[in-house]
């Protein structure tokens, strides 16, 4: 079975500070992991994915994620957060044709 | 490039009325298609997925059904809506072979059952 967990319901940061959104995974076999962002009343937007290879994955809008096998984590990071990064973030793992999503983390970036 | 459309964007329906939500994808062939429901702006619940025309898999037994009459068309239906059917409905597509692939989501339909 494949699942992910997002331990924080909410993350608050000041604009210009580093942003980290946490995700841990529990999978059998190779983990295939994804990050999505959702703005209010919009569909989810794909940010990045880890399939294999480099543990640091770069994605859209300046986001990156670090795959850590020993800690079974796939945290999303941005070196300098913007107010426009305020949104709902989802981590997901792939299971055959389907994705299993975490519960989501609301990010608020204050000016 | 690929595009996914959903309509209507918003819908207010009385309890007991029928429902039909439509999703179409452009720019790709034989995609995998998915219907999700999101309640209270949080978690996503996979309702149905389809790997081909006429092939529908149901994830959660409920008051809804899905159909795929054409390769790039996915329809979510109900004969009689319940209050609990209210939510934000999202359609998504992904490539079909050699995955795992990311899914791309449509803009969503906000359904309110009154």
The predicted-structure confidence for A75-109, as pLDDT tens digits, reads as follows: 999 999 999 999 999 999 987 778 999 999 999 99
Cβ separation of A101 and B108 shorter than 8 Å? Answer: no
pLDDT tens digits, one per residue of B71-102: 999 999 999 999 999 999 999 999 876 677 89
Q: How far is CA A89 from the centre of its chain?
A: 6
pLDDT at A73 over 90: yes
The residue to which tokens 């967990």 are assigned: A5
Q: What is the mean pLDDT of residues A40-63?
A: 93
Between CA A109 and CA A85 the distance in angstroms is: 7
Q: A22 falls in which pLDDT band (50, 70, 90)? A: very high
Nearest to B43 among A36, A94, A101 (CB): A101
Between CA B103 and CA B28 the distance in angstroms is: 13
Residue-averaged pLDDT of chain A: 94
Cβ separation of B103 and A46 shorter than 8 Å? Answer: yes
Residues on chain A touching B46 (C-beta within 8 angstroms):
98-99
pLDDT tens digits, one per residue of B30-87: 999 999 999 876 789 999 999 999 999 998 867 899 999 999 999 999 999 999 999 9
Cβ separation of B103 and A99 shorter than 8 Å? Answer: yes
Beta carbons of B77 and B18 less than 8 angstroms apart: yes
Interface test with A, best of B57, B102, B107 (most A CBs within 10 A): B102
- The burial of A12, by beta-carbon neighbours within 10 Å (0-12 exposed, 13-18 middle, 19 or more buried), is given as exposed
| Cβ neighbours, 10 Å, residue B57 | 13
């Amino acid at each position: 079975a494949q699942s992910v967990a997002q331990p924080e319901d909410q993350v608050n940061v000041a604009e210009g500070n580093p942003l980290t959104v946490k995700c841990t995974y529990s999978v059998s076999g190779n983990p295939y992991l994804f990050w999505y962002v959702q703005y209010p009343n919009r569909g989810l937007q794909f940010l990045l994915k880890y399939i294999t290879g480099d543990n640091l994955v770069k994605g859209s809008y300046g986001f990156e994620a670090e795959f850590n096998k020993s800690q079974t984590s796939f945290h999303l990071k941005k070196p300098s957060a913007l107010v426009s990064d305020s949104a709902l973030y989802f981590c997901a793992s792939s299971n055959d044709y389907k994705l299993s999503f975490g519960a989501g983390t609301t990010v608020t970036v204050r000016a | 490039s690929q595009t996914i459309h959903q309509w209507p964007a918003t819908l207010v329906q009385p309890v007991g009325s029928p429902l039909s939500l439509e999703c179409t994808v452009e720019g790709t062939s034989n995609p995998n298609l998915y219907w999700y429901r999101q309640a209270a702006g949080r978690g996503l619940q996979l309702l149905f997925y389809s790997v081909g025309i006429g092939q529908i898999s149901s994830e959660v037994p409920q008051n809804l059904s899905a159909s795929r009459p054409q390769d790039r068309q996915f329809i979510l239906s109900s004969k009689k809506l319940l209050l609990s059917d209210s939510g934000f409905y999202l359609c998504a597509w992904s490539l079909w072979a050699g995955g795992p692939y990311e899914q791309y989501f449509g803009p969503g339909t906000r359904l309110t059952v009154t």
